[in-house]
Amino acid sequence: MSIFTKAVTIALKEFPQVNSMIDGEDLVTPGYMDIGIAVSAPKGLVVPVVRNAEMMGIAGIELKIKELAARARDNKISIDEMKGGTFTITNGGVFGSLMSTPILNPPQSAILGMHKIQERPVAVNGQVVIAPMMYVAMSYDHRVIDGRESVNFLVRVKEMVEDPVRMLTEGQDPVKILLDL
């Protein structure tokens, strides 16, 4: 979850509309990314929030998710720890889901659904090979987010997950960072 959370924060910087929400007559785009992470608790799914996830590295995000998930499973999560998210990630894959439609967590305008990783035949350089594949789906409020923007956001998340070095450098060229250019 931490890798996808980090990828989402990078993509949200590029596509801030996906991090927006409607508040009455106003469109609000927060300057922070409080990412809700759906967690299976004894009484059902709950969504604790990783506050200011854009400021954290993958290890910090992983530790925070682990802490919040443990508190949720022990029924010790507070209402305040589940309020105020700007975007949510849910992982039906842990239950074996191959594909589903995630449901928005109002007032948020988007949610990313991750699904089970499963080996599938895919074409690589003109050859059919077996490779691990995972479907992701995003539900979004079309009043806030345009279809083109949502697809570009998903593509950016995919690029970051498939290129961890680029993700660790926040989408910047690692050579330029190393050479301080």
Per-residue pLDDT of 142-156, as tens digits, reads 999 999 999 999 999
User: What does each of the 181 residues of the chain score in pLDDT, given as a tens digit?
Assistant: 999 999 999 999 999 999 999 999 999 999 999 999 999 999 899 999 999 999 999 999 999 999 999 999 999 999 999 999 999 999 988 888 888 999 999 999 999 999 999 999 999 999 999 999 999 999 999 999 999 999 999 999 999 999 888 877 776 676 776 676 5
pLDDT at position 64: 97
Domain count, the chain: 1
The count of other CB atoms within 10 Å of the CB of residue 60 is 14
Per-residue pLDDT of 43-80, as tens digits, reads 899 999 999 999 999 999 999 999 999 999 999 999 99
| Boundaries of domain holding 57 | 2-178
Give exposure, 127-148, as e/b (b: 16+ Cβ within 10 Å). eeeeeeebbbbbbbbeebbeee
CATH number at residue 101: 3.30.559.10
Helices marked H in the chain — which ranges? Answer: 2-14, 58-73, 147-162, 164-168, 174-178
The DSSP result for 121-147, as a single string, is EEEETTEEEEEEE--EEEEE-TTTS-H
Q: Say how far apart CA 114 and CA 3 lie, in whole Å.
A: 12
pLDDT at position 140: 97
The count of other CB atoms within 10 Å of the CB of residue 153 is 23
**What are the residue numbers of the active site?**
142, 146
pLDDT at position 55: 95
